[in-house]
Structure 1
Amino acid sequence: MDRCPAGSVWVEKRREINMKRLYGVMGLLILMGVATTVRATDCRVNGGVWTFVGAGGTLNLRVPVTVRLGADRTRIVLEGVRLECRFSGFGGSQPWYTDYWATSARVGPAWVPGPKFTREGTGLRINGTHYNSPVPNGIRMTTMPNNGVGYPVDVTPYILVRNSPTNPIDVRIGDVLGGLNLEQTNNYNTGSAALALTYTAANNFSISPSTCTINNNNPIDIDFGNVHQRAIGTDPLTTTIRRDRRLTYSCPDGGINTPITISYKGTPSAFDTRLLRMSNPDVGTALVRGGSAVQVGGSFLTRITNSGGGDDVTFTLVRRAGSLPAAGAISGTGVLVMGVP
């Protein structure tokens, strides 16, 4: 009779120990289940390798883009990136699980312009809509359901073209153009990740980002006609082969009064840096204003008053001293660019 109660107590203690062990195992399984749901997403650019970014992490990508003037001439666009992201499946994920990419204050400004654009107005075109900087937070651009399919992240940075004169932008291949910052969230937990995409230039690009124009943006054709080689002088100020032209400056918005610079852009001649290189290496073309030759790569100071202005200039044909240029047609190309001092 005495053994039965003792046996009962011993059995109950075993049950208590077993239950504690069971609770411990269940707790471990629950914690493991929570850990496996802390996932994020995969992304790639231009059809490259899919790269995974985990929750709390940042996916850093770098991609070259084409810099060009937009069709409506109001924006300079940085295009050519095909960014795709997809839901990163994991054990226990449900069919209704969905990831999102959006602008967010948590990851900072959606677009940070590169060094050459810090004084310019910028923005992002997101799914066809233009948002000037500072781009609002909370703009959702991509929804990625749990199906393993890559979805485009439709974002294109741009630089605004001004209505008033401004200094030219000169982009060289490899220049850092800016950075895109986005946040990935979901509908199944509080985890998130970040995307930091650095844009670099894939091409050289020079432009005065202004709607103000020289000669209404029409080409300035300088035709010297048929000349004898010996008639071409060796000094840009005294050569008799010359053509006078009127440069007119205009801005679409009224009331603009400002000093401006007109730069003579192109490749200088090997024998005189004041001259634009021509197809014949013994011949160059000078831009003369106010009795002085404007060096290629240099500029002269002038003015816009009430959104208009102008200058009389002369283009002269010059030969290398001591040479007799070969007979035949010659040609060359230069650019006049409006800027501010």
Structure 2
Amino acid sequence: MKRLHGAAGLLIFMGTISNALAVDCRVNGGNWQTGNPNLRVPVMVTLSSDRQRIMMEGARLECMYSPGQGPAWGEDYWATGNASGTPWTPGPLFGNERAGLRINGSFLNNPVPSGIRVATMPNNRVVYPINITPYILMRNSPSNPINVVANDLLGMLRISSSNNWDNTRPQVTVTYIAANNFTVSPSTCTINNNNPIEINFGDVPQRALGSDPLTTPIRVNRRLNYSCPDGGIDSPITITYKGIQSSFDNRLLMMTNPNLGTAMVRGGAAVRVNGSFLTRITNSVGGDDVTFSLVRRAGSLPATGATSGSGVLVMGVP
């Protein structure tokens, strides 16, 4: 009789392993994976249209009740979190930022509770979406830019399944990887209310162009205004002049005419391209006067015709 009991116990154990496979999932139409799959998916990192969140879009996660598992009336109940950890763990790039999950259209900031019902899947061979999208919340205070490079680790999503007929809890872990390069300041503070700063030098006589950004007569003055939506912020900040350097002077932004470049001058000094100057905001506002100057390569006479260039001013913290 002891041997019979031992055999029965072994059969029950094997049955439990089989029941734990009552789940099939895939991402982006790929192969179905059964059991407790660890999935990996590339996603696009983008800024939402309202500039409130950095979204990780493009992971089409789908699951279904595994055919041949359990009774005909069986159902799987998918929920956030699993035995491995919390529903969402941001990657190292976002470790100091606030994060969350958009679940079936609702935004839930971290800490997202485990056990939130995401989907119900009857035993009917129908494929159901798992509508979850991770995001990073923008700040209302100054912050340094985040540089995402394709293949960077963005974070890990954890979900699990229960059902209405046994106690097994299959789990799925999805690792999110960046599919694109993306640079963003995780802050809602703005320079000139995020409006483009257009610098039009007009018609410039060839021989009027100078070769020194501090003395060339071709210049345009602009006021830079800084603001943050939350009041009471007093902080030093940096303003970075980002772009592609000209081939002949690292203080000059490259123009379509190779013998021309544009400098940004503040306080009597030209700011190096991809360099920055230190300033501050007081009670959430601040500002600086700068000059943009058009400069020629020394010893050259630039060809006539239209020329253009583009750069970005980025607010950060020291």
Equivalent residue for 1:185?
A: 162
Spell out, residue by residue over 1:148-181, the C-alpha distance to the aligned partner (whole angstroms, 9 max, x if none): 1111000011111111111112212222111111
Quote the residue 2:141 is aligned against.
164
Distance 2:8 2:135 in 1: 54
Where does residue 82 of structure 1 map in the other structure?
A: 60
Q: Aligned pairs, how many?
A: 318
Change in Cα spacing, 1:51 to 1:24, as seen in structure 2 (3 Å) is closer
Q: TM-score scaled by structure 1?
A: 0.87
Distance 1:189 1:229, change over 3 A: same
Which residue among 312, 319, 329 is the counterpart of 2:306? 329
CA distance in 1, matches of 2:153, 2:5: 56
In structure 2, the CA distance between the partners of 1:43 and 1:26, relative to structure 1 (3 Å rule), is closer
Amino acid at match of 1:85: C
- Which residue of structure 1 aligns with residue 33 of structure 2? 51
Give the alignment's TM-score, normalised by structure 2: 0.93
Partner of 2:121: 144
Unaligned runs of 5+ in 1: 1-18
Q: More displaced, 21-30 or 305-314?
A: 21-30
Any runs of at least 4 consecutive aligned residues in structure 1 with deviations exceeding 3 A, and if so which? Answer: 19-38
Q: 1:86 and 1:293, CA in 2 relative to 1: closer, same or farther beyond 3 A? A: same
Larger Rg: 1
Please state how far the C-alpha of 1:26 moved relative to its aligned partner: 8.2
Letter of the 2:223 partner, please give it.
Answer: R
Question: What letter corresponds to residue 145 of structure 1 in structure 2?
Answer: P
* Counterparts of residues 62-141 of structure 1 (less than 5 Å): 62-90=40-68, 93-104=70-81, 106-141=83-118
Contact 2:20 2:170 in 1 (8 A): no
Please state how far the C-alpha of 1:236 moved relative to its aligned partner: 1.2
- Deviation string, structure 1 residues 246-281 (Cα, Å, up to 9, x no partner): 101111221111111111111111211111111111
Matched, 1:37 2:19: yes
Structure 2 CA distance for partners of 1:177 and 1:241, relative to 1, 3 Å: same
CA distance in 2, matches of 1:30, 1:122: 42
Contact kept in structure 1, 2:254 and 2:261, CA below 8 Å: yes
Are positions 1:280 and 2:257 aligned together?
yes
For 1:92-117, what per-residue CA distance to the aligned partner results, in whole angstroms no more than 9, with x for missing partners?
Answer: x2111112221235220211111211
User: Please, which runs of 5 or more residues in structure 2 have no aligned partner?
Assistant: none
Residue 23 of structure 1 deviates from its aligned partner by: 9.6
* Structure 1 or 2: more helix by fraction: 1
1:39 CA displacement: 2.2
User: Counterparts of 2:311 and 2:216 in 1: how far apart (Å)?
Assistant: 20
Task: Identify which range, 233-242 or 24-33, moves more after superposition.
Answer: 24-33
